[in-house]
Structure 1
């Protein structure tokens, strides 16, 4: 699934970031994720739909339950953007050290 929602918009919310952290530890049902938050199950479902639309998670049905897990490929744009700034700050630090010599 290609991203319908900008992944940066998806991670803008602290609840969604927390959901991604939890999912980094393994697959969870919507019910099990809901127990970690002070919000209704439908509210958790809405957050998960947005994460899915951004391509950050996969959701699959197994029996009556929906299981969510991270989609590694969905993080590519985020990694690329962060990688640019990792390199920028590393070069900036090197320039500062060199200019002090």
Structure 2
């Protein structure tokens, strides 16, 4: 289980790294943090309100006590990381961005 209870964060690399390792993530709903977990409707982790220690503890307890949920979220996390943050996916998106901006003298 990876835990990221940040109050402020830019793009959060730590949850993406944890997801790539197949770990379920418990994170605050701070901008950037929750975005990393995806929005596909199939959660890759548990999001709790920023600063809500009781919700954070409850989410951790739920994952510690529920092996099946922990495994399911871990599989989803790995899939989400592979789909959204692989070298191929990010590289293709960067190339398209650069072409749209006129890099390489094209676009």
Q: Which has the higher contact order (CA 8 A, sep 6+)?
A: 1
